[in-house]
C-alpha cells in the first residue's frame, strides 16, 4: 500500500539533492528569468530610429522639410551627411547606416516648376524585417511631406498627385527574400550551438570516465591540451560550413558575391572563440548535464540578441550592449556582408577585431580555469 512516510522520505531526499546541485538549480531559475526579460523587454519587431545618411546636392527648404518629414515618422534618424556617393556606399557596406537618401541638385527647381522631381531612398535590405515597416512609412511622407511648404503660388501642387516622388531601392535583397538573411546567419547559429556543446561535453565526459586524471599525469601543458582539443573541432566546423554553403547555393539560391576565401579565414576565429567558451564551461561543469545546461544558457542570448531572429537595432540600448559582447553578433554581420554585399577586408575589419578580442578573453579564462583544475 501507499505509504506517506516513504513518500515524504523520497520527497525530502529530492529537495536535498536539488540543494546540493546548486548549478542546476540556478539554471532552473535563471533560464525562465532570462527568457522573460529577453522576450519581454529586448525583442522588438518594429525598430525605430534607424540610422540614415543624407547625400544632398540641393540645400533648399524643400529638401530640409523632406528630411524632417522622414525623421518625424520615427523610423529614420540622420546620423551622417556624406559628401560623395562613395562615402555613402562605405557607410552602407560597413553597416553604419540602414538607409541613404539621395537628393538631386535640381530637386527644388523642378518642384517649383511642377515637374515632380525624384528623390531616391536606398535601403539595406539584407534584413527585410528591420526595414519593412520603415519602408511602409515612406508612403505617408511621399503623400504629405511638403504640404506646409507648398503655399502661395505653389499651393496648387497640393492638388492631385504628390508634388514629388520618393522612390525606394532595396539593395542586396530587392525581393525581400527571408532565406537570404536567415540561411547565412544559420551558419553562425549552428556553429555556436555545436562547437560550444561538443567541446564542453567532451572534456566533461573525460572527467566522468576518469581519463582526465591520466591526462593530468602527463607532462602536457594547459595550452597544448586546449589546442589539441580545439583543432579537431575546427575541422568539424568547416565540414558544417561546407554543407550549409552548398545547401544555401543549391536549395535556397542565396547569392554569394563576396570572397569565400576571406570568409574561410575569418571562420577560424569564430569557431575557435566558441570552442574556448565550451572549454571554459567544461572546467566549471561537474557532469555532462551541467555542461549542456551552461551551453543552453550561452546559446539562448546569442540567438536572441545577435540579430539572427529579431532586428538588432530594434532592441533597447542595454540589450544591444550585451549583444555586442557575443561573437555571433559580429559573425552575422561578417557573413551577411561578405555573401550578400560583397564586402572586402576593410569593411569587416572592425568585426574581425571584436571576434579576436573575444577569443583572447575566452581563451585566457579557459586557460586560467584549467590551471585551477591542475591544482
Considering only the C-alpha atoms of the chain, give the largest distance between any 2 of them, rounded to a whole number of Å: 98
- Residue 365's domain comprises 178-374
> Taking a C-beta distance cutoff of 8 angstroms, is the pair 51, 77 a contact?
yes
Residues 195 and 167 in one domain: no
Total count of domains within the chain: 2
For the chain, the three-class secondary structure string (H helix, E strand, C coil) is CCCHHHHHHHHHHHHHHHHHCHHHHHHHHHHHHHHHHHHHHHCCCCCCCEEEEEEECCCCHHHHHHHHHHHHCCCEEEEECCCCHHHHHHHHHCCCCCEEEEECCCHHHHHHCCCCCEEEEEEECCCHHHHHHHHHHHHHHHHHCCCCCCCHHHHHHHCCCCCCEEEEEEECCCCCCHHHHHHHHHHHHHHHHHHHHHHHHHHHHHHHHCHHHHHHCCCCCHHHHHHHHHHHHHHHHHHHHHHHHHHHHHCCCCCCCCCHHHHHHHHHHHHHHHHHHHHHHHHHCCCHHHHHHHHHHHHHHHHHHCCCCCCHHHCCHHHHHHHHHCHHHHHHHHHHHHHHHCCCHHHHHHHHHHHHHHHHHHHHHHHHHHHHHHC
pLDDT reported for residue 208: 78
Among 171, 199, 228, residue at a domain's last position = 171
The predicted-structure confidence for 120-141, as pLDDT tens digits, reads as follows 999 999 988 889 889 888 887 8
Among 171, 205, 238, residue at a domain's last position = 171
The predicted-structure confidence for 191-234, as pLDDT tens digits, reads as follows 999 999 988 888 888 777 777 667 767 777 777 777 787 788 88
Q: Taking the model in full, what pTM does it have?
A: 0.86
pLDDT reported for residue 352: 96
Residue 368 forms part of a structural domain: yes
Residue 45 forms part of a structural domain: no
Residues 76 and 130 in one domain: yes
Residues 164 and 187 in one domain: no
Residue 6 forms part of a structural domain: no
pLDDT reported for residue 375: 47
pLDDT reported for residue 231: 83
Residues 159 and 217 in one domain: no
pLDDT reported for residue 158: 63
Residue 363 forms part of a structural domain: yes
Among 140, 156, 171, residue at a domain's last position = 171
Residues 270 and 152 in one domain: no
Residues 165 and 187 in one domain: no
Residues 95 and 216 in one domain: no
Residues 292 and 184 in one domain: yes
Residues of the chain with pLDDT under 50: 374-375
Residues 204 and 183 in one domain: yes
Residues 137 and 224 in one domain: no
Q: Kindly report the CATH number assigned to the domain that includes residue 122.
A: 3.40.1710.10
pLDDT reported for residue 371: 60
Residues 222 and 131 in one domain: no
Residues 239 and 98 in one domain: no
Residue 18 forms part of a structural domain: no
Amino acid at each position: 500500500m501507499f505509504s506517506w512516510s516513504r513518500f515524504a522520505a523520497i520527497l525530502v531526499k529530492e529537495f536535498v539533492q536539488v540543494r546540493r546541485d546548486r548549478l542546476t538549480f540556478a539554471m532552473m531559475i535563471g533560464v525562465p528569468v532570462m527568457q522573460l526579460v529577453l522576450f519581454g523587454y529586448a525583442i522588438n519587431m518594429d525598430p525605430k530610429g534607424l540610422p540614415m545618411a543624407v547625400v544632398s546636392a540641393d540645400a533648399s527648404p524643400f529638401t530640409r522639410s523632406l528630411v524632417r518629414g522622414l525623421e518625424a515618422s520615427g523610423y529614420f534618424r540622420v546620423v551622417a551627411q556624406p559628401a560623395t556617393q562613395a562615402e555613402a556606399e562605405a557607410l552602407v557596406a560597413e553597416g553604419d547606416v540602414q538607409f541613404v537618401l539621395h537628393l538631386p541638385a535640381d530637386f527644388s527647381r523642378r518642384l517649383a516648376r511642377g515637374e515632380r522631381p525624384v528623390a531616391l531612398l536606398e535601403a539595406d535590405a539584407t534584413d527585410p524585417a528591420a526595414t519593412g515597416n520603415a519602408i511602409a512609412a515612406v508612403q505617408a511622407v511621399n503623400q504629405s511631406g511638403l504640404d506646409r511648404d507648398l503655399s502661395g503660388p505653389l499651393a496648387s501642387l497640393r492638388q492631385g498627385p504628390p508634388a514629388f516622388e520618393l522612390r525606394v531601392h532595396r539593395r542586396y535583397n530587392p525581393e525581400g527574400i527571408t532565406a537570404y538573411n536567415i540561411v547565412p546567419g544559420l551558419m553562425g547559429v549552428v556553429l555556436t550551438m555545436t562547437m560550444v556543446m561538443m567541446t564542453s561535453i567532451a572534456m566533461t565526459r573525460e572527467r566522468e570516465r576518469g581519463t582526465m586524471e591520466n591526462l593530468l599525469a602527463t607532462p602536457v601543458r594547459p595550452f597544448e591540451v586546449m589546442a589539441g582539443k580545439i583543432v579537431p573541432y575546427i575541422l568539424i566546423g568547416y565540414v558544417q560550413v561546407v554543407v550549409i554553403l552548398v545547401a544555401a547555393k543549391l536549395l535556397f539560391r542565396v547569392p554569394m558575391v563576396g570572397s569565400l576565401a576571406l570568409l574561410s579565414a575569418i571562420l577560424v576565429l569564430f569557431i575557435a572563440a566558441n570552442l574556448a567558451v565550451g572549454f571554459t564551461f567544461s572546467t566549471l561543469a561537474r557532469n555532462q548535464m551541467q555542461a549542456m545546461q551552461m551551453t543552453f544558457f550561452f546559446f539562448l542570448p546569442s540567438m536572441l540578441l545577435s540579430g539572427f531572429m529579431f532586428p538588432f537595432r530594434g532592441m533597447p540600448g542595454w540589450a544591444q550592449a550585451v549583444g555586442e559582447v557575443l561573437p555571433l553578433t559580429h559573425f552575422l554581420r561578417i557573413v551577411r556582408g561578405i555573401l550578400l554585399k560583397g564586402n572586402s577586408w576593410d569593411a569587416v575589419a572592425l568585426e574581425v577585431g571584436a571576434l579576436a578580442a573575444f577569443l583572447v578573453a575566452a581563451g585566457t579564462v579557459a586557460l586560467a580555469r584549467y590551471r585551477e583544475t591542475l591544482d
